[in-house]
Chains A and B, each alone.
Chain A
Amino acid sequence: AQSVTQPDIHITVSEGASLELRCNYSYGATPYLFWYVQSPGQGLQLLLKYFSGDTLVQGIKGFEAEFKRSQSSFNLRKPSVHWSDAAEYFCAVGARDNYGQNFVFGPGTRLSVLP
């Protein structure tokens, strides 16, 4: 079964600074990887996803993530954080026939942005 860890529960950065959120997964086959963002009181919005091909994927809102198979990681990055990026970020791992318990979320990383 898949599992996802996000080592950082809470991260604080200053506006304009760069950001990297860590995600490590455990899965026996080629994973399908996702990053979602959840603003307070809101649902989850898909930022980006990786299925295959180029290991550096671009997403919405200026985010990107890099799949590193050797490290079982899929870290999310942004070169310059905006105050509106303050939210909860979830990494998720799925499989080819992804449904149900095959779609596993990490515990989340809460991002705070200082003015």
Chain B
Amino acid sequence: NAGVMQNPRHLVRRRGQEARLRCSPMKGHSHVYWYRQLPEEGLKFMVYLQKENIIDESGMPKERFSAEFPKEGPSILRIQQVVRGDSAAYFCASSPPGTGGNEQYFGPGTRLTVT
């Protein structure tokens, strides 16, 4: 059973461009979480999704950020008009149904650099 997959692993964008980060959960996992890790800090929750539903996006900035988890395909975290402050590592985690989110398996992360 492959682990959580994220791509790309590294992404460089100029200010004002769009960044698309992808996350494929582990097989059988229907819950996806996105976290952001700024340098020298722990992970901060951004959004929690189930298939075709955003359950909790309270940690996501109101503007420029969006997330989706379609019926088919990976979950996407989209950042429009990126700014330098968006430079961070973005981690995706997935969990199986029925565990209340207490078994989160993390992907390797996407490191976004905004120049």
Contact = CB atoms under 8 A, between A and B. Distances in A.
Could you tell me the dominant secondary structure of chain B's interface residues? strand
Interface in A93-115: 94, 96-108
B47 to A, nearest CB: 8
Contacts of B42: 4, 90, 105-108
Contact of B59 (A36, A41, A43, A100): A100
A30 interface: no
Interface residues of A, number: 26
A32 interface: yes
Contacts of A90: 42-43
Nearest to A88: B42
Interface string B43-86: 11101100000011011000000000000000000000000000
Interface pairs A-B: 3 shortest CB-CB: A99-B101, A100-B56, A105-B42
B108 interface: yes
Nearest to A51: B102
Interface of A: 4, 32, 36, 41-46, 49, 51, 90, 94, 96-108
Given A41-B108, A94-B102, A100-B48, 18 more contacts: A41-B111, A43-B107, A44-B106, A46-B105, A97-B100, A97-B101, A98-B100, A99-B48, A99-B100, A100-B47, A100-B55, A100-B58, A100-B59, A101-B59, A102-B101, A104-B45, A105-B43, A107-B41
